[in-house]
């Protein structure tokens, strides 16, 4: 039996950020609802998970990309294919936070300009208690505004609700973007 997928029900997103910020753990928690303790450097991986938004079931195809700067060529492919880009930093790593402005946003803007929604995500939020290098929620909100992110979300792999909120927002923003593009296309055709 061949199952035909409804392309309108598939949302693609790229997850980017420095190595060791927890991108793969975040994605695996969404897709498999499992925590992963072992660190294995990712070069490129693709995962798919399902989520219900506005009473409809969507499949989110997630490109999990390498955090090392030398893998830009692989990430470029994912930017073009994505409806939404998720930029991650660790709430306990100030360098990864600074790299959002110093590296990640310039790279993204170089390839997709302002055409794709960006969601800024603080990962490893459960590790902030008593940590001196903690990036505060206020810091994250200010950064989200600075980079023009449509949303700021704090997550932890020990809080599945925060991760589900993130991916619900990925789908909602992909739907909004598609509706805007469709509306623009319809206006052009009516001329």
CATH number at residue 182: 3.40.50.300
Q: 166 CB contacts (<8 Å, ≥6 apart)?
A: 26, 30, 86, 119, 121, 153, 155
Is 129 a domain residue? yes
Is 150 a domain residue? yes
pLDDT at 181: 72
Specify the residue for token string 């590790």: 127
Q: By residue range, what is the domain housing residue 161?
A: 8-190
Residue 3: pLDDT over 50:
no
Is 1 a domain residue? no
Residue 169: pLDDT over 60:
yes
pLDDT at 191: 55
pLDDT class of 44 with cuts at 50, 70, 90: low
Is 162 a domain residue? yes
pLDDT class of 36 with cuts at 50, 70, 90: low
Whole-number Å distance between alpha carbons of 188 and 11? 25
Is 137 a domain residue? yes
Is 69 a domain residue? yes
pLDDT class of 98 with cuts at 50, 70, 90: very high
Residue 184: pLDDT over 60:
no
> How far, in whole angstroms, is CA 70 from its chain's centroid?
20
Instruction: Report the number of distinct structural domains present in the chain.
Output: 1
Is 3 a domain residue? no
Is 2 a domain residue? no
State the Rg of the chain over Cα: 17
pLDDT class of 38 with cuts at 50, 70, 90: low
Angle between helices 105-112 and 72-81 (to 10 degrees): 60
Query: Would you state the structure tokens that stand for residue 137, as one six-digit string?
Result: 């929620």
């Amino acid at each position: 039996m061949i199952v035909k997928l409804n392309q309108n029900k598939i949302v693609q997103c790229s997850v980017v950020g420095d190595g060791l910020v927890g991108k793969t753990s975040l994605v695996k928690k969404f897709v498999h609802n499992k925590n992963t303790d072992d660190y294995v450097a990712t070069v490129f991986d693709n995962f798919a998970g399902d989520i219900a938004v506005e009473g409809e079931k969507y499949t989110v195809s997630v490109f999990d990309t390498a955090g090392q700067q030398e893998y830009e060529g692989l990430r470029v492919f994912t930017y073009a294919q994505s409806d939404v880009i998720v930029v991650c930093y660790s709430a306990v790593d100030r360098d990864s936070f600074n790299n959002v402005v110093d590296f990640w946003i310039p790279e993204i803007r170089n390839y997709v300009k302002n055409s794709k929604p960006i969601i800024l995500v603080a990962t490893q939020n459960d590790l902030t208690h008593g940590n001196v290098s903690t990036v505060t929620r206020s810091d994250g909100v200010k950064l989200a505004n600075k980079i023009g992110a449509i949303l700021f979300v704090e997550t932890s792999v020990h809080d599945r609700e925060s991760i589900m909120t993130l991916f619900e927002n990925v789908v909602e923003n992909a739907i909004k973007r598609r509706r805007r593009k469709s509306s623009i296309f319809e206006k052009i055709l009516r001329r």
